[in-house]
């Protein structure tokens, strides 16, 4: 099953001016990568759709692999409560991914903000104010889409 992810997951149902002219991002659990046991994820690009496949392995293994991932945007998969419910992921588990969250910069800084908001709330929820702060960060890094 595919789970909507990325900016559309966090913003499209909340802000009428949301504008993601790129694609739809999805996260998907798959069987472990047999020939590449250290691989963190697999990306499949389809027209206007990017699917990030994650191996359904133990939580500990998933954390160990993910914390080494150089792409900070990979934290996004762990910010979707629907997606992570399959592996019983908790806020305590999320704390272990701080090095990954800190690599979420530039266009993806909003993900780092959401990461820290979850820790602040001690739950996988955002207040309206927190969501708006993350959305404003998202828009600021995309000035061509959001002209004042």
Average pLDDT of span 39-55: 92
Q: Give the integer Cα–Cα distance in Å for 101 and 116.
A: 9
Average pLDDT of span 2-27: 90
Q: Identify whether the C-beta of residue 30 lies closer than 8 Å to the C-beta of residue 56.
A: yes
Domain-located, residue 51: yes
Return phi, psi of residue 108, to 5°: -105, 15
Structural domain including 40 reads 2-140
Record the tokens describing residue 50, joined without a space.
């990017």
- This prediction's pTM: 0.93
Domain-located, residue 21: yes
Residue 24 has a pLDDT of 92
Q: Flag whether pLDDT at 32 surpasses 80.
A: yes
Domain-located, residue 101: yes
Domain-located, residue 102: yes
Domain-located, residue 37: yes
Ramachandran bin of 106, using left for φ above 0, alpha for ψ from -120 to 50, beta for the remaining angles: left
Average pLDDT of span 31-37: 89
Domain-located, residue 62: yes
Domain-located, residue 58: yes
Q: At what angle do helices 109-121 and 128-140 cross, to 10 degrees?
A: 170
Residue 143 has a pLDDT of 78
Domain-located, residue 50: yes
Residue 49 has a pLDDT of 92
How confident is residue 21, by pLDDT bands cut at 50, 70 and 90? Answer: low
Q: Flag whether pLDDT at 131 surpasses 60.
A: yes
How many structural domains compose the chain?
Answer: 1
């Amino acid at each position: 099953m595919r789970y909507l992810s990325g900016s559309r997951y966090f913003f499209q149902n909340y802000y009428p001016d949301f504008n993601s002219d790129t694609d739809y991002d999805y996260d998907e659990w798959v069987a472990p990568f047999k020939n590449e046991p250290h691989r963190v994820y697999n990306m499949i690009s389809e027209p206007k759709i990017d699917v990030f496949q994650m191996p359904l392995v133990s939580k500990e293994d998933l954390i160990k692999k993910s914390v080494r991932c150089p792409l900070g945007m990979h934290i996004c998969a762990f910010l979707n409560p629907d997606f992570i419910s399959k592996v019983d992921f908790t806020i305590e588990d999320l704390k272990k991914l701080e090095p990954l969250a800190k690599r979420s910069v530039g266009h993806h800084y909003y993900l780092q903000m959401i990461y820290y908001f979850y820790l602040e709330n001690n739950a996988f929820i955002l207040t309206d104010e927190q969501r708006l702060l993350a959305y404003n960060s998202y828009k600021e890094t995309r000035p061509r889409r959001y002209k004042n």
